[in-house]
Chain A
Amino acid sequence: MHNSSPAADDRHHRHASQRLLVSRKSAGRALVALASLGCLLVLLIQILHATGAITAGFADWRPVLYAYLLWAIAFGVGQVLVRGERGLRALFLLPAVLFTVAVVIFPTLFGIYIASLDWNLSSFEGPHFNGLNNLIGLFHDNYYWNALGNMIFYAVAVLGEYAIAFGLALLLNAEIRARKFFRVVFLLPLMLSPVAVSWMIGKSIMEYRFGPAATLARYLGWENPAFFASPWIARFSIEAMDAWVSIPFIMIMLLAGLQAMPKEVLEAAKVDGAGGWQSFWHVTFPIMLPVSVTVLIIRIIFKLKLADIVINVTAGGPGGATDTVSSFIYRVYRDRSNVGYGTGLAMFYLLMIIALLTVLLRLSSRWTRNVA
């Protein structure tokens, strides 16, 4: 009865599986198309509802979010159906990509739109198009440029944090007892909330009348230990607090680099008769350069976001001396409800950060290559 050769049987199977494959693929495509259509439909209904063209619609935009979520799931399933094994692999990356697109790319584009509006939440008239007026206004805003100037100070101060952190990392890497104890203690400030730190240090320890730091300063002969009264002292005080919180991060990264360093190199330097300072400067430091550059760039990125300590301790004062761009924009929004202008300032700041980091990355890669 079964006289079909194995080969024919095989061909039959292949046909069947191919047919299955084709139908699976088309099912996947149909699913994605259907989901996209549904998602667009919800969006369209809501847009028409919001503009008042139709009365049917939802109370808020939440359903659009659900529609996006459903679409994302359908898209994932569709990928698997259409592309099989490769779809399964794409499934690893898709959730993160779709999430990032939804919460970063879209809001950023939306932000560019807001930045072109004249929109004050406290005024009665709603948002209206303003063109580049926000951008032009920004160039005449002295407080904004002052804040940008302060950012240069804060960014340069990262070098000081780095120097201290390198010293601490070297200490922890030396032959010491109770290394674990010191490591835990040195790491602790990293865990603390900057807001709590601004009270703990800024508002109580550095308090003018009876903070311990002020008492100590008086004892050491500083007649009038006001840490937040004159511009430069205030700037250094803020920087000291931020450094206190973030030095542990730099320190741990450098310590990791030090521990990964081949011991033979230092041995060789010692055999050559290099002293401690020489072997640090000619051996340790160059080997640590790539780690240093990485950690410095990460630290500068985080430094450019500095806001909470400034907002809570000085609110930018005295006279804007300690203002960071973030804390300034925060006040533009909080006190003046100026949404359009604030977003414009933020967008301009983002462009400057991107430019700065591009230059920094280029320079650092060239520099490390030259030294190494």
Chain B
Amino acid sequence: MANVTSATKSVRRRQGASPATRTLSRVLIYGALLFWAFVCLFPIYWTVTTSFKSALDVTQGHLVPWLDFQPDWKGWRSLGLSPDSLLGTSTARAEFLSRFGNSIITSVGASVLALVLGSLAAYGLSRFRYKFAWMRNDDILFFFMSQLILPPVVLALPFLVLYKALALLDSRIGLILLYTLTVLPIVIWIMRDQFNAIPVELDEAAFVDGLSVWGAFIRIILPLAVPGMMAAFILSLVLCWNEYFFAALLTSTDAKTLPVMVASQTGSQGINWWSMAALSTAAIAPLVVVGILLERYIVSGLTTGAGK
């Protein structure tokens, strides 16, 4: 903190010499910041407002609700989610809710499984020395990280054939297993840095108190690693929630996830802008909320990773 304030002062002192340059640089900095904030927010704003537009408002390019156009629940009604249609029966809503549920179950399930497997492995790799054939700790870590480079297309077709034989095609369990695989390297990466940051002396103290290896891990170390686990969990959640490739190939009716539903609606030619916009809004809303509320965990998780 002291460092920061002293840096601030020195900056002020230096720039105080020429107020004109200083103002100019301020204007440029805030201009750039506002411009990029606009770039980031406009597509979201556009999607949310379009879900309340009628066809005429879309074609005439109206942008501001109440000033430009009269908002209407049109898009949400087509999903069965507007106030007036909420109580009635709606097949569109039933389908949407089932896809939404599938997305939640698969992404949360995979994230939890990856977090359990990944935390255990990361703790082991950070504390003990393993030797498996010619592989040492670094080789084992590299083995896990190398899964990252595997493009989904390599696994997609073998999994299609295997899942058919295992009767796992179009099932949530099948998707959970695959998603766990895709996020496991990231979880191990984040969690290993997290455990490395916790001093080994804490483990040793726990051993002296008579705890076993697992007792020390669960009762002493794990509670300290909660921030890292949050970060790993949220990142996995984001990746799994947004995954499209495997879901498109491996699900058909029962286990379809939200991205597949969005994509199938996009493909149809008679583009129904308001209902597409409502669907997209509903698909991105959970993660936008997560992003706003838990932003600092994501940043801290990626930050520990960047230290490597």
Contact = CB atoms under 8 A, between A and B. Distances in A.
Is B truly associated with A? Answer: yes
Interface of A: 59-62, 64-65, 85, 88-93, 95-97, 99-100, 103-104, 107-108, 110-111, 114, 167-168, 171, 174-176, 182-201, 203-205, 209-210, 212, 215, 244, 249, 252-253, 255-257, 259-260, 263, 266-267, 270, 291, 294-295, 298, 301, 304-305, 307-308, 311-312, 325-326, 329-330, 333-334, 339, 342-343, 345-347, 349-350, 353-354, 357
A266 B8 CA distance: 12
Nearest 10 interchain pairs by C-beta: A92-B124, A96-B121, A256-B303, A193-B242, A111-B158, A191-B291, A191-B287, A256-B306, A308-B244, A195-B259
A255 B303 CA distance: 8
A60 B130 contact: no
Given A60-B167, A96-B117, A96-B118, A204 B154 contact: no
B44 interface: yes
A42 to B, nearest CB: 13
Contact of A88 (B117, B168, B214): B214
A13 B155 CA distance: 55
A311 B151 CA distance: 15
Given A195-B263, A350-B150, 7 more contacts: A93-B124, A99-B180, A110-B158, A185-B37, A191-B284, A210-B61, A304-B151
B52 interface: no
A325 B154 CA distance: 11
Given A256-B303, A354-B149, A205 B59 contact: no
B117 A182 contact: no
14 contacts: A61-B165, A61-B166, A62-B167, A92-B120, A104-B147, A104-B181, A114-B161, A176-B29, A184-B292, A195-B266, A204-B276, A244-B39, A256-B303, A339-B160
Nearest to A340: B157
Interface stretch (B74-82, B87-95, B222-230, B294-302): B294-302
Contacts of A193: 241-242, 244, 258-259, 262, 283-284, 287
A196 B8 contact: no
Nearest to A259: B303
A305 B152 contact: yes
Max chain A Cβ within 10 angstroms of own Cβ: one of B3, B123, B156: B156
Contact of B36 (A186, A312, A343, A353): A186
Interface string B263-285: 10011000101001100100110
B245 A182 contact: no
B305 interface: yes
Max chain B Cβ within 10 angstroms of own Cβ: one of A200, A209, A260, A347: A200
